Amino acid sequence: MKKSVAADAPIRYRETDPVAFKALNEIGIIAQLVRTELERAAGDALSGAGFNVLNHLARLPGDWAPARLARAFQVTKGAMTNTLQRLEAAGYVKIVGDPADGRAKHVTITAKGLKARNATLARLMPAISAFTATVGEETLARLLPDLARLRAALDEAR
């Protein structure tokens, strides 16, 4: 990840800002920085949203209804349908109708989709390695349980 001019600037919050807001703001900034790096690594062949869907399907295999994916990503059904159509056109996912319910669909990642996800991850590895060297793997490992707990709490509250 490239260092911005503001990277060395102290982060300023108002004294009255709640600590939870400060933490969530930091996470939001981190998410934006990661999203930018991810989109750079994905290139023109795969959008950031497309990578996220492929990553989700690679981590949590099985077939997923488009509506369930939309809920998981907190996007509209239309936005998810658009992303899935692009992924299907590229051969990255397979969308099939449910024989028991003609209106329902099931989405699965294809071998080509898994390969595209893994190739994007491989292109991200230099940035991830540099980041890990700066922050420290031990620090990241220590943060992971707290981040997972925070994610679970936010997911539960939606």
Query: Which one-letter amino acid corresponds to residue 124?
Result: L
- The answer to whether 63 and 108 have CB atoms below 8 angstroms apart is yes
Of 25-34, 40-49, 50-59, 141-150, which gets the smallest average pLDDT?
Answer: 40-49
**114-119: Cβ within 8 A, 24+ apart:** 114/54, 114/58, 116/45, 116/46, 116/54, 116/90, 116/92, 117/51, 117/54, 117/55, 117/58
Residue 95, SS3 per DSSP:
strand
Summarised one tens digit per residue, pLDDT across range 119-128 is 999 999 999 9
The structure's pTM equals 0.81
Q: Where are the beta strands (DSSP E) in the chain?
A: 93-97, 105-109
The confidence score (pLDDT) of residue 5 equals 46
The domains found in the chain, sorted by start residue, are: 17-157 (1.10.10.10)
pLDDT band at 42 (very low <50, low <70, confident <90, very high): confident
